[in-house]
Amino acid sequence: MSASHTLAAAIAGLGLTKVAVALHTADPGESGDMATNEVAYAGYERAIVAVPVGARIDFPRGTGGDGKATHYSVDAVGGQGNILSGPLLVPIPIGAGLTPYLWTER
């Protein structure tokens, strides 16, 4: 994403005050929702963030499991849709002892 079109700008454009952000092991697809291909390491839960979001979105530290997150999705808190999603520029390692995060301004 260029500096003029960052994840933070895209989230701000949704017109919501809080959003849920999820990580995925594969593309959730246009017909999928936040649960489609969602990561499942021990300790994981979706990040709930206020809009505008900060430069970094942190997820809980893993207590078990392993793998890589390759995609993200965003929806209204409590929603089960997938109103914004896309691939990560670099896969994020997930699992025991790791604290995954997304940069929103890069």
Structure confidence by residue, pLDDT tens digits, 34-55:
899 999 999 999 999 999 888 8
Q: What is the DSSP letter of 103?
A: E
SS3 for 4-39 is: CCCHHHHHHCCCCCEEEEEEECCCCCCCCCCCCCEC
Share of the chain above pLDDT 90, in %: 59
Domain ranges of the chain: 7-103
pLDDT the model gives residue 80:
62
- The pLDDT of 14-37, averaged and rounded, is 91
* Band of pLDDT at residue 9, cut at 50, 70 and 90: confident
Record the pTM.
0.89
